[in-house]
Amino acid sequence: MNCGDWEERIALYAGGDLRPEEAAGLERHLAECAGCQLLLSGLRESLRLLREAHAEPVEEAHFTAVRARVFAELERGRWPLWRQVWVYGLAAAAMALLLLAVRPKAHNRIAVVTPAPVLTAAPAPPQPQTVRQSVAPRHRKPRPKPAAEAERPAEPLVVKLLTDDPNVVIYWITESKGD
Amino acid sequence: MTALAFLAMAAPRGGSEACARAIEAARAGDLAAFETVMRQYERMVLVTALRLLGNVEDAQDASQEVFLRLYRNLNKVEAAGNFSGWLYRVTVNVCHDMGRKRTVSVPMEDGGMASAADDPQASATGAERQRVLRMSLRMLSEKERAVVVLRDLEGLSTEEVARALGSSEATVRSQISKARVKMRDFVERYFRRRV
């Protein structure tokens, strides 16, 4: 084993980190090797100087400053929860008012448009009636239906509401019972 | 001996009963109790951060972040035993994150090297020696610097360092031996000493 192989063990030994069984073998080698003795003394000296270099006390003002900053941050962190509740509550109330405000009214800008086929494609309601009428059991009287309803199928009415925001268009779809 | 006494002051071990009670109270939202905990460990955190980062401003920023993380994670931190280890680990991680965000420069001063070359026999002043040793710490990699700070300056055992850094004891021993050799070589070259 040459001196280069001992280097790692000597570095651990200098800081008191070598296991006792390994330290015994190293000490035998050190007794015979001047080069490794010099390495050990150099390592111990640099460790001593390192500890001296970092032994300067830190001023109390630095700790006080950190404490102040931490507690300022913690105090700031405590308020937003209540502020958020207050703000969100106000926001919810404002939204409710807005929804009430944009309710379709007669004087608002409402354009009743003929629904496009894709919007108003409704299942053919007369089918059940037709079937019912065609297969009306003999033993039961068919229920009387209003003539207007029987004659005119219910078509859904689509009301397109334009708002002040061009990106917001409200479609209000309802059944038209006939006016 | 002064350095060792300072080390003993810097790192309170485990948690006393009073500290454990303070931690419990802090978990319940008692800020005064949290301040008690902070006062007990602020020196350990700030000094470690200062040694890892090299300047007070960054160390203060790091310490602030460490204690804010402590407050947010009080429920996860054990009240005793490994509390210091948790704090060391968070301090190292925060300093590592800060180190990544800023440009790391090794303060190699050619003027200092030239003066040593002019008069290699002159003994360096204490301030000069301290400057060189600080430089030698800065020229290590982040991991090597962390193990040297925790082991050689904070006085943790290699096992405690391994737990704080989340690595194995064998890795820590390897890193610390390499780091010590590097620092010694740097100092030797700087003062023109030859083996």
Is residue A107 pLDDT above 90, yes or no? no
Interface-testing mutation among A12, A50, A56, A76, with chain B (most B C-beta atoms within 10 A): A50
Q: What's residue B107's pLDDT?
A: 46
Average pLDDT, stretch A74-81?
72
CB pairs under 8 A between A and B: 122
Nearest CA to CA, how far is B80 from chain A (Å)? Answer: 22
Q: What's residue B148's pLDDT?
A: 96
Q: How confident is the model at residue A89 (pLDDT cuts 50, 70, 90)?
A: confident
Within an 8 Å CB–CB cutoff, is residue B124 touching chain A?
Answer: no
Task: Kindly give the pairing relationship between strand A169-175 and strand A156-162.
Answer: antiparallel
The residue behind tokens 């804010």 is B68
Is residue A113 pLDDT above 60, yes or no? no
Q: Which two tokens stand for residue B147?
A: 């193990």
Q: Look up the ipTM and state it.
A: 0.76
Closest CA to B174 of B152, B130, B144: B144
Which of A23-27, A172-176, B43-47, B59-63 shows the lowest per-residue confidence on average (mean pLDDT)? Answer: A172-176
The residue behind tokens 């002064």 is B2
Q: What's residue A116's pLDDT?
A: 54
Q: What's residue A94's pLDDT?
A: 84
Interface-testing mutation among A3, A10, A46, with chain B (most B C-beta atoms within 10 A): A46
Q: What's residue A140's pLDDT?
A: 56
Specify the DSSP element, H or E, that contains B76.
Answer: none
Q: Which two tokens stand for residue B148?
A: 């040297």
Threshold 0.90, pTM exceeds = no
Cα separation, B93 vs B142, whole angstroms: 10
Name the average pLDDT for chain A.
Answer: 75
Which stretches in chain B have pLDDT values below 70? 1-16, 78-81, 103-124, 192-195
Euclidean distance between the first and the last CA atom of chain A, given in angstroms as a whole number: 108
B67, B134, B181 member nearest A53 (Cβ): B134
